[in-house]
Amino acid sequence: MSPVVIAIDLGATKTLVGVGRTSGDLLARVQFPTPIQGSPELAVNEMVLKIRQLLAENNIADDQVNGVAVGAPGPISYPQGIIYDSPNLGWQKFALRQELEQRLGWPVVVEHDVAMAALGEFHFGQMKRYPNLLYVTLSTGVGAGIIINGELYRGSIGGAGEIGHMVIDPHGRLCNCGRRGCTEAIISGTALAIQARELVEQGRATYLQSLAKDGVITAKEIAIAAREGDSDACRLLAQFRENLQLILANLVHIFNPDIIVLGGGVVQGMRDLFFEGIEEEVRAQVFPMHRPGVKIEVTRLGGDIVLYGCLAAGGIWGFE
Ligand SMILES: [Zn+2]
């Protein structure tokens, strides 16, 4: 049997810890809220505790474990695994790899979560291997994992794939990064929710407002309202779709990938509302030479995609 890997998907709001094999069998997983207040030590304590529990529950001895792979929000240095001033986690320059290695005694790799997801998709998401694959995540943020010629592309210093900060409207909405009109400020789940709240401030979107728990509209309420045919929600989603198509067409022109795979909370939660026909629309926007190669899918790995990427990473790098 292939080696056991501990897989960790560290997120801003929740963390998943799993155990599985490098062949892609996820044996068990557990989810818990990421300790807040920007405290990496608390988060590491919780991870270690859950790892110990999972191993005990699944009768896996320490010497069966090859190593630990972690997908985490950026910016991260590779291979040092230092998480720099992560706006999502609120951590500042935390040596996650070193900390986990000291606490657990196994080798650890830390990779950008979206890059890890792309590895998962490349190895376990598709029936066939597409050597040039883009994984695009749409959730609270927007990012891409890039596989070129069968290998993860990290760029010069590990910063590749930040498509969320590709400006598509220089006079558009203010982004967390300080610039205007970034993709993330326009089509992320957070951006959708902000657009809905703006409608409410203008005295519109009354139905959306009525759905909101504690008065705060999220992407979830937009999806519910759109399914019921609410015109404000449908308009927001039509804009979202139009912008997404534009961004995907840009990516086709830049990367000419074999396949683009979409994932993340917004895609999981709203697939039925925007995905149908998107491949044809993007095909219509790109150069004729690119058209036959346009292939867009939604990941089948769902919310565990980063964990699958960790299993793949354990197999590739072998924790030497
Ligand atoms: Zn930005």
Q: Are residues 170 and 247 in the same domain?
A: yes
Q: Are residues 130 and 181 in the same domain?
A: yes
Distance CA 120, CA 139 (A): 18
pLDDT along the chain (320 residues), means of 10: 94 94 96 84 95 97 96 89 83 94 96 96 95 96 96 90 94 92 95 93 90 88 96 96 97 98 96 97 98 97 97 86
Q: 3-state DSSP call for residue 127?
A: coil
How far is ligand 1, taken at its centre, from the CA of residue 185, in Å?
A: 7
Can you give the pLDDT at residue 38? 67
Can you give the pLDDT at residue 51? 98
Q: Are residues 13 and 84 in the same domain?
A: yes
How far is ligand 1, taken at its centre, from the CA of residue 184, in Å?
A: 6
- For the stretch 1-37, pLDDT in tens is 889 999 999 998 899 999 999 999 999 999 999 987 6
- Count Cβ atoms within 10 A of the Cβ of residue 39 and give its class: 0-12 exposed, 13-18 middle, 19 or more buried: middle
How far is ligand 1, taken at its centre, from the CA of residue 291, in Å?
A: 29
Distance CA 97, CA 108 (A): 6
Closest CA to 281 of 303, 255, 260, 299: 260
How far is ligand 1, taken at its centre, from the CA of residue 183, in Å?
A: 7
Question: Could you tell me the residue range of the domain that residue 298 belongs to?
Answer: 120-302
How far is ligand 1, taken at its centre, from the CA of residue 172, in Å?
A: 11
Q: Are residues 124 and 98 in the same domain?
A: no
Q: Are residues 50 and 141 in the same domain?
A: no
Query: Which protein residues have a CB closer than 5 Å to ligand 1 (ion)?
Result: 165, 175, 177, 182
Distance CA 208, CA 221 (A): 7
> Which CATH number covers residue 255?
3.30.420.40
Task: Determine, yes or no, domain membership for 140.
Answer: yes
Task: Determine, yes or no, domain membership for 10.
Answer: yes
Can you give the pLDDT at residue 75? 84
How far is ligand 1, taken at its centre, from the CA of residue 320, in Å?
A: 37
How far is ligand 1, taken at its centre, from the CA of residue 75, in Å?
A: 14
Can you give the pLDDT at residue 37? 64
What is the number of alpha carbons within 13 Å of residue 65 lying toward its C-beta? Answer: 24
- Percentages helix, strand, coil for the chain (3-state, rounded to 5) are 45, 20, 30
Can you give the pLDDT at residue 303? 94
C-alpha dihedral sign at 300, 259, 120, 71? negative
Task: Determine, yes or no, domain membership for 307.
Answer: no
